[in-house]
Amino acid sequence: MGRRRLRTRGVIGFAAVLAVLAVLAAACGSDGSPTASAAGAGSSAATASGGGVQPTAPTTVRLGYFPNVTHAPAIVGVEKGFFQQALGAHTLKTSTFNAGPEAVDALFSDSIDASFVGANPAINAFQKSNGAAIRIVAGSTSGGAGLVVKPEITKASDLKGKRIATPQLGNTQDVALRAYLKTQGLSADTTGGGDVSIIPQANADTLTQFAAGDIDGAWVPEPFLSRLQQESGGKLLVDEKTLWPGGDFVTTQLIVATKFLDAHPDAVLDLIKGEAQAIRFITDNPTDAQKVTNDGIAKISGKPLKDAVVQAAFANLRFTLDPIASSLKKSAQDAYDAGLLKDTKLDGIYDLSLVNQVLAGLGQPAVKGL
């Protein structure tokens, strides 16, 4: 498991924030898709006035994210100060995690208020709390995951008797692998048995063990998808995009503790505006965004990624405020089929009212839940 690290950003003057956000909103215009154009939608006060979200007393927003390229909007939002600028009088405090279940545990223990996570950890959190603990409030990233194997493995049937790693039992990639194996007529249980032995472990361990030959492959997100290929001679057997209609599926999304959302909707609104600014920065400045993301990863992990890895990873990803709800429903069904969920009920898991306020302020279409 990765170590949790904490960093705190200072408070930015509220008047300065209003000016910055107003300029950003004007610069965005109203053309383009939500992915390309979702940047700051004006000041918190202005949005609150139009959308019924009233300012609350200044608070600390404790945000979780991962040192992965799939979390680039979060990393850019932190490193470029977009979150803190948008939060104004609220203060940002960050924690980093290795995988979604770890972040969800932190949310359940009241160590964080919000986190960027994958599809299945959000589903698990929702169901374990009987629909009470969390809400998905915005999307973040689509794509950038798949199965990398040894070169001699050329087809699905070659996986029989092999050892395949995933980041953590029940995380998004773990469920995706189990669903794929089922479609190929291969079994895998939650204890490492079956036709294929699934080994949940930290992504850093997967890199080492794959290079040493201790495992035969891994279903992982970026940048590990590219690293296994570039650094260890792995071969991409399954690009997860090929398994979804239009190649679009949720890889990362923003969840918030329901009690925090109820108590501080203005802070959540501002957090989404900060994410929107980060996505706009990535879209408009891809080269700079790759460097910012890599620098952010280096701060957390102690070592930057190779530039070629970051470039390859970014090419596999799409950053968007749309949570791609249709893919979440299928992920729930896949997790249920794998014995990792008690049912597939997701009614109420989304609260997209705030992200749609941001998009409406930009003249962009609303995104949809289930």
**Tell me: the pLDDT tens digits for 75-126?**
999 999 999 999 999 999 999 998 888 899 999 999 999 999 988 889 989 9
The mean per-residue pLDDT over the stretch 60-76 comes to 96
CATH code at position 77: 3.40.190.10
Residue after which a domain boundary falls, among 180, 213, 246? 246
Picking from 293, 148, 348, 306, the residue whose alpha carbon sits closest to that of residue 229 is 148
Same domain assignment for residues 34 and 18? yes
Same domain assignment for residues 14 and 124? yes
DSSP H helical ranges for 156-218 = 172-183, 203-212
Same domain assignment for residues 224 and 167? yes
Same domain assignment for residues 267 and 331? yes
For 25, 33, 172, the CA distances from 30, given in Å and listed in that order, are 10, 9, 34
Residue after which a domain boundary falls, among 246, 261, 289? 246
51 pLDDT band, cuts 50/70/90, is low
Same domain assignment for residues 180 and 259? no
Same domain assignment for residues 171 and 139? no
The boundaries of the domain holding residue 106 are 5-144+248-361
For 29, which DSSP code?
-
Give the total number of structural domains in the chain.
2
CB neighbour list of residue 50: distance below 8 Å, 6 or more residues apart: 357, 361
Residue 367 located in a structural domain: no
Same domain assignment for residues 212 and 322? no
* pLDDT of 37 higher than 90: no
Give pLDDT tens digits for 176-219: 999 999 999 999 999 999 999 999 998 889 999 999 999 999 99
Residue after which a domain boundary falls, among 246, 271, 302? 246
Give pLDDT tens digits for 113-151: 999 998 888 998 999 999 999 999 999 999 999 999 999
